[in-house]
């Protein structure tokens, strides 16, 4: 019988994709990294032009745990980013910084542990109040609103919408029209957030980490690939072979880069992060990013870190659960691997 379904050709092609820049520990690592970085930048799409950061503080407040600053910065022309910086009151300055990145939730207020909408309590209960956790660990926390989420959600009038209830759908496709990708734009915003941090005292900008789960894990990982000022990353509910997840499971369109599998599998990209610390956190029963694919990807990541002479700078933290963060397990490993 003929098979008319699109996956009848797509999935076999994904299994046999060229993976032109597959990591080879015997290759010239410097030359490989240069080519891999240039290729990733191309896949991320056209990046915005630099504009002045135009940082504006909206308000400040104190709690028992931290001093909080709500501010805006310009990622590009016509695109401001709302952000919150939490600086702990315990410990001593300068503080390392954790950049907190939400996945598909109602917004960055989840990182702050402040429910606003139905379902927020459940999201927070999955250990997604990253900023509060980071401050309790003695780190400063930067929370930014990602494009298409929360305060930066699609604001077009109803007559421009046609029944598609996916927060990233229009932003992803409109970006493609311009040779951009939403993934690349979000990575750009993280990079620009580091520029914004230069305007604040009491921060150790030689120690900056990214943390997030699901789409937040995606951006945590790619941001560390893109910007070497990120000196550690803890992607959660994301590390998995593309073959076992994006190529076969339904995912939001913001995860995809045109031609990605022709150049890389996920593990190969870890060669752009090594030897900086990479702590992968994953649930054994995650359906969207199957654990078998996580184990395969992480096994290759271990080999890559060994090739860079840093076998102790990567770690897999496995939680006995599903698609979420596992704070009780992860933070102690993060401290051990980073030495922070």
pLDDT tens digits, 203-214: 999 999 999 999
Q: Could you tell me the two tokens for 181?
A: 């990708």
Tracing tokens 């995809």 back to the chain, one arrives at 256
172 occurs within a structural domain? yes
180 occurs within a structural domain? yes
Phi, psi of 36 (to 5 degrees): -65, -40
Q: Assign residue 119 a region (left: φ > 0; alpha: ψ between -120 and 50; beta: otherwise).
A: left
253 occurs within a structural domain? yes
Q: Which residues does residue 236 pair with via DSSP β-bridges, in sequence order?
A: 213, 281
What does the alpha-carbon distance between residue 204 and residue 192 come to, in Å, rounded to a whole number? Answer: 17
Phi, psi of 13 (to 5 degrees): -65, -40
Q: DSSP state, 180?
A: B
User: Of 111, 104, 151, 115, which Cα lies nearest the Cα of 135?
Assistant: 111
User: CB–CB of 306/250 below 8 Å?
Assistant: no
What 47-55 contacts at long range (C-beta under 8 Å, 24+ apart), as own/partner pairs, is 47/180, 47/184, 47/188, 48/75, 48/76, 48/77, 48/79, 48/185, 48/188, 49/76, 49/77, 51/76, 51/77, 53/192, 53/195, 53/196, 53/199, 54/80, 55/196, 55/199
pLDDT in tens, 115-138: 999 999 999 999 999 999 999 999
63 occurs within a structural domain? no
**Domain extent at residue 263:** 7-48+80-338
314 occurs within a structural domain? yes
57 occurs within a structural domain? no
55 occurs within a structural domain? no
Q: Could you tell me the two tokens for 93?
A: 């300055």
pLDDT of residue 163: 76
* Local confidence pLDDT in tens for the 340 residues of the chain: 667 898 889 988 888 999 999 999 999 999 999 999 999 999 999 999 999 999 999 999 999 999 999 999 999 999 999 999 999 999 999 999 999 999 999 999 999 999 999 999 999 999 999 999 999 999 999 999 999 999 999 999 988 988 778 899 999 999 999 999 999 999 999 999 999 999 999 999 999 999 999 999 999 999 999 999 999 999 999 999 999 999 999 999 999 999 999 999 999 999 999 999 999 999 999 999 999 999 999 999 999 999 999 999 999 999 999 999 999 999 999 999 999 9
What does the alpha-carbon distance between residue 236 and residue 258 come to, in Å, rounded to a whole number? Answer: 23
Q: Is 63 exposed, middle or buried (0-12, 13-18, 19+ CB in 10 A)?
A: exposed
H or E element: which one contains 131? helix 130-136
Q: What is the CATH number of the domain that holds 104?
A: 3.40.50.1820
User: Of 224, 250, 220, which Cα lies nearest the Cα of 236?
Assistant: 220
pLDDT in tens, 57-108: 999 999 999 999 999 999 999 999 999 999 999 999 999 999 999 999 999 9
Sheet with 95-101: strands ordered across: 56-62, 66-76, 79-88, 140-144, 95-101, 203-213, 232-236, 278-283, 314-319
Q: Report the predicted TM-score, pTM, of the whole model to 2 decimal places.
A: 0.97
103 occurs within a structural domain? yes
What does the alpha-carbon distance between residue 149 and residue 169 come to, in Å, rounded to a whole number? Answer: 11
pLDDT of residue 1: 65
Number of structural domains found in the chain: 1
Provide Rg for the chain, Cα atoms.
19
Q: Could you tell me the two tokens for 303?
A: 């080999």
pLDDT of residue 295: 98
Q: What is the number of other CB atoms lying within 10 angstroms of the CB of residue 257?
A: 19
């Amino acid at each position: 019988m003929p098979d008319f379904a699109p996956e009848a050709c797509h999935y076999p092609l994904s299994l046999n994709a060229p993976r032109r820049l597959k990591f080879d520990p015997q290759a010239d690592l410097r030359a490989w990294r240069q080519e891999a970085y240039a290729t990733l930048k191309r896949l991320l799409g056209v990046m915005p032009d630099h504009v002045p950061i135009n940082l504006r503080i909206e308000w400040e407040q104190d709690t028992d745990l931290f001093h909080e600053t709500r501010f805006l910065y310009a990622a590009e022309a016509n695109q401001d980013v709302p952000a919150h910086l939490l600086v702990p009151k315990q410990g001593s300055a300068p503080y390392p910084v954790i950049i907190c990145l939400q996945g598909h939730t109602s917004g960055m207020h989840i990182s702050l542990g402040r429910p606003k909408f139905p379902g927020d309590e459940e999201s927070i209960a999955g250990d997604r109040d990253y900023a509060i956790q980071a401050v309790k660990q003695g780190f400063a926390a930067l929370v930014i609103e990602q494009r298409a989420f929360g305060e930066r959600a699609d604001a077009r009038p109803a007559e421009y919408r046609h029944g598609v209830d996916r927060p990233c759908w229009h932003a992803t496709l409109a970006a493609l029209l311009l040779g951009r990708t939403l993934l690349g734009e979000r990575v750009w915003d993280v990079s620009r957030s580091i520029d914004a941090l230069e305007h604040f005292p009491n921060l150790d900008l030689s120690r900056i980490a990214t943390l997030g789960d699901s789409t937040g894990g995606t951006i945590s990982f790619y941001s560390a690939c893109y910007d070497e000022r990120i000196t550690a990353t803890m992607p959660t509910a994301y590390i998995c072979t593309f073959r076992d997840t994006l190529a076969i499971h339904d995912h939001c369109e913001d995860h995809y880069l045109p031609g990605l599998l022709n150049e890389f599998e996920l593990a190969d990209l870890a060669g752009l992060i090594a030897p900086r610390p990479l702590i992968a956190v994953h649930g054994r029963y995650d359906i969207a990013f199957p654990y078998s694919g996580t184990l395969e990807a992480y096994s290759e990541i271990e080999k890559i870190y060994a090739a860079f002479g840093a076998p102790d700078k990567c770690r897999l933290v496995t939680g006995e659960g599903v698609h979420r963060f596992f704070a009780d397990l992860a933070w102690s490993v993060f401290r051990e691997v980073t030495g922070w």
